[in-house]
Amino acid sequence: MTQAFDPRTGAAGVDDIEAGDIAAMPAPRRIGGHTALAGVIGWPVEHSRSPLMHNFWLAQYGIDGAYVPLPVRPGAFDVAVHGLRAAGFRGANVTIPHKEAAFRIVDRLDRSARRSGSVNTLVFAPDGAIEGFSTDGDGFVANVEAHGVVVKGGRALLLGAGGAARAIAASLLDRGVALTIANRTPARAHELADAMRADADAGTMVDVAPWDALDTVLPGCDMLVNTTSLGMDGGPAGGLPVDLARAASTLVVCDIVYVPRQTVLLHDAAARGLRYVDGLGMLIHQARLGFRKWFGTDPVIGPEVEALLDADLRGERR
């Protein structure tokens, strides 16, 4: 074996590597001019598990594609999106703090985005238009139903009034679920209720409850949905002002937080023998629409991708 020393780097060269070593190396992934590209835009974005999930699916289905994190500062969103479209990207997911900016930039809004007032999925159409979708609501419902809960009729107590709450509210109303909305800032709860009442036939199906009086409405609810960041690792201090001891034994408790997977709310639900659904499945289910539109395949949501994400959240992935 010859020694090839590079004086510029102090490193040995390729002549140091035996042919057998090369054969044993994993084949490098080839990214070329025809590779389909998508990503997730946010600031910050390094916490996102979307690249792990989408690249798992790309490998699973043998698709020539790549999904990358795209850190974009506030104020630079429009320039970044137009640049991605010009560079041939198929589209992108959008996360905090850009969902409202995404809503404003699109040329065509899907009904889901129009109702929720926010966009979390951009598709760059062949005609040059930017299409906007909100997949959070249907992703939430799909996750709940995957846990064996039929989402039809009844009443849900919805905590929070942000973009995810709006999307979930619209999807629940579409399935005949009446809503009681509560938020720490009452004006935002009323704003969301008014927006939902203005659409379709939701008029009498939506009301608002005071944040500090949730125990009075909880006994009449079939589902409790937390869309706030209370309970999230690194989130605001304090807990939710709700006592599950007052809930009916049939209450289904849902939390869209997935770090940690079992929040204090879900731990309390489990301790009381209530059915509960964590937020990781929503992350997975809401990703399907974008993947299908960007890469042309509808991924099957099996246990492998959930196990991959769960291991990553626990810091177990190598």
- For 201-247, write each residue's pLDDT tens digit: 656 799 999 999 999 999 999 999 999 988 887 777 678 999 999 99
Predicted local distance difference test score (pLDDT) of residue 306: 93
Predicted local distance difference test score (pLDDT) of residue 230: 87
Percent of the chain with pLDDT over 90: 71
| 231 vs 137, residue with greater confidence | 137
Q: Order of strands across the sheet with 275-277?
A: 206-208, 178-182, 155-159, 223-226, 252-255, 275-277
| 26 vs 315, residue with greater confidence | 315
Residue 158 contacts residue 133 (beta carbons within 8 Å): no
Helix (H) or strand (E) holding 275: strand 275-277
Domain spans, the chain:
36-134+282-313, 137-278
- Closest CA relative to residue 296, chosen from 140, 126, 117: 126
Query: What mean pLDDT is predicted for residues 105-117?
Result: 90
Predicted local distance difference test score (pLDDT) of residue 5: 40
| CATH code for the part of the protein at 137-278 | 3.40.50.720
Told to judge if 99 belongs to the known catalytic residues of this protein, a careful annotator would answer yes
| CATH code for the part of the protein at 36-134+282-313 | 3.40.50.10860
Q: How far apart are CA 273 and CA 42, in angstroms?
A: 38
Percent of the chain with pLDDT over 70: 88
From residue 169, alpha-carbon distances to 59, 148, 178 in Å are 34, 20, 9
Amino acid at 211: W
Angle at 26 between CA 20 and CA 29, to 5 degrees: 135
Give the predicted TM-score (pTM) of the model.
Answer: 0.83
Is the model's pLDDT at 51 over the cut of 60?
yes
Q: How far apart are CA 115 and CA 13, in angstroms?
A: 59
Give yes or no on whether 36-134+282-313 and 137-278 have one common fold: yes
Query: Rounded to 5, what percent of the chain is helix, strand, coil?
Result: 40, 20, 40
Name the pairing type of β-strands 130-133 and 108-109: parallel
Selected catalytic residue, list 99, 115, 285, 293: 99
Predicted local distance difference test score (pLDDT) of residue 179: 97
- Average pLDDT score, the chain: 89
Residue 52 contacts residue 58 (beta carbons within 8 Å): no
Query: What mean pLDDT is predicted for residues 52-73?
Result: 97
Predicted local distance difference test score (pLDDT) of residue 32: 83
- Token digits for 312? 């990553």
Confidence of residue 288 (pLDDT cuts 50, 70, 90): very high
List the binding residues: 48-50, 95, 120, 136, 160-164, 183-188, 256, 258, 279, 286
Confidence of residue 1 (pLDDT cuts 50, 70, 90): very low
Confidence of residue 199 (pLDDT cuts 50, 70, 90): confident
Query: What mean pLDDT is predicted for residues 285-308?
Result: 94
